[in-house]
A = this chain, B = another copy of it.
Amino acid sequence: MGEDAALEVAVRLKALADPVRLRLLSLLLASEEVCTCDLAPAVDLTEATVSHHLGQLKKAGFISGERRGMNVYYRAHRDALGAMAQVIDPACC
């Protein structure tokens, strides 16, 4: 793996390498669409903290959020996760 490629992959892996973000992602994968106000109590953290984590996942391209009315609904990008899995083990898929 090249130096630049390693840096890009590491940045995206860092976004996944946190217990809170893994649980948020798991909740999003299970429920299709969830808003911050529902996620915060599920992981027992403040909405501000959850917003931080969602921002990191969004920046890494694993989720996206859409505002509808008062709430912001987040959904997971399953293809981005699949691509990440393939980088870790190309022989896997």
| Residues in chain A within 8 A of chain B (CB atoms) | 1, 3, 6-7, 9-10, 13-14, 16-20, 22-23, 26, 78, 81-82, 84-86, 88-89, 91-93
Main secondary structure of the interface of A (DSSP, over half): helix
Complex: A75 Cα to B92 Cα, angstroms: 19
Contact between A88 and B16, CB atoms less than 8 A apart: yes
> Roughly how many angstroms separate A22 CA and B22 CA in the complex, as a whole number?
20
CB-defined A-B contacts under 8 Å, sample of 23: A1-B22, A6-B19, A6-B22, A6-B26, A9-B22, A10-B17, A10-B18, A10-B19, A10-B22, A13-B13, A13-B22, A14-B14, A78-B91, A81-B88, A81-B89, A82-B89, A84-B88, A85-B86, A85-B88, A85-B92, A88-B88, A92-B93, A93-B93
Residues from chain B with a CB closer than 8 A to the CB of A17 are 10, 13-14, 16-17
